[in-house]
Chain A
Amino acid sequence: AQSVTQPDIHITVSEGASLELRCNYSYGATPYLFWYVQSPGQGLQLLLKYFSGDTLVQGIKGFEAEFKRSQSSFNLRKPSVHWSDAAEYFCAVFTGGGNKLTFGTGTQLKVEL
């Protein structure tokens, strides 16, 4: 069955520092991958997605992610973190046949000023 693993439960970075959030997936076919951000008490906002083509995907708010099939990874990156980026980040895989999004357990990002 498809699954998504986010190894880091919490990450703390200083404002202005670079960020990388890890995501590994398990899926037999070519996955459709997503990164979402959730602010406290809020719903989810899509940051970026990968379906096919260029493995480096650009998203909103300066985020990018790179799909690496050999490593079954889809890590989220940002070169310079802003205090407003503090939130919960979820990686997800979409199974088109099953019509479902399977989410990772999330990574809580804290930004130190």
Chain B
Amino acid sequence: GAVVSQHPSRVICKSGTSVKIECRSLDFQATTMFWYRQFPKKSLMLMATSNEGSKATYEQGVEKDKFLINHASLTLSTLTVTSAHPEDSSFYICSARDPIRGSNEKLFFGSGTQLSVL
């Protein structure tokens, strides 16, 4: 089956540094990828929609200069948390849509990245 790989699974960084998270679709070309953020004991909140070759679409309240998204190829989207602060600590999950599987509902999720900012 389709697999989405997310790396790293866990990262600890100092406040003020930037962290890059990668999301790869391993056996399909994902024209669209999604980035979610999950707070402890909370649901997943969509941060942005990443479209290959164009700018990401951010949800209301998400700082696009803070959370940089790049979708330079059909198999890779990256989320960079710039100048990270402790409040950015969270679990980030990506998902990718496989358009070949016949419907827009074919979403596959990465295993998530736990970001801890000290």
Chain A interface residues (CB < 8 Å from chain B): 32, 36, 41-46, 49, 51, 90, 94, 96, 99-106
Q: Are A104 and B105 in contact (CB under 8 A)?
A: no
Cβ B43 vs Cβ A103 within 8 A? yes
Q: Could you tell me if B44 and A90 are in contact, using CB atoms closer than 8 angstroms?
A: yes
A96 and B32 form a contact (CB under 8 A) = no
Number of interface residues of B (CB under 8 A): 22
A/B interface sample: 15 pairs, CB < 8 A: A42-B111, A43-B93, A43-B110, A44-B44, A44-B93, A44-B95, A46-B107, A49-B105, A94-B104, A94-B107, A99-B32, A100-B46, A101-B34, A103-B43, A103-B45
Report how far A102 CA is from B45 CA in the complex, Å.
Answer: 8
Pick the contact of A96: B6, B95, B105 (CB < 8 A): B105
Residues of B within 8 A of A41 (CB): 9, 91, 112, 114
Task: Kindly list chain B residues whose C-beta atoms are within 8 Å of the C-beta of A42.
Answer: 111-112
- Asked if B105 and A90 make an inter-chain contact with CB atoms under 8 angstroms apart, the answer reads no
B44 CB contacts on chain A under 8 angstroms: 44, 90, 103
B49's partner among A32, A49, A100 (CB-CB below 8 A) is A100
- Assess whether B67 is interfacial by the CB under 8 Å rule: no
B43 touching A32 by the CB < 8 A rule? no
Q: Which residues of A contact B109 (CB under 8 A)?
A: 36, 43-46
Q: Within 8 Å CB of A32, what residues of B?
A: 105
Contact between B43 and A96, CB atoms less than 8 A apart: no
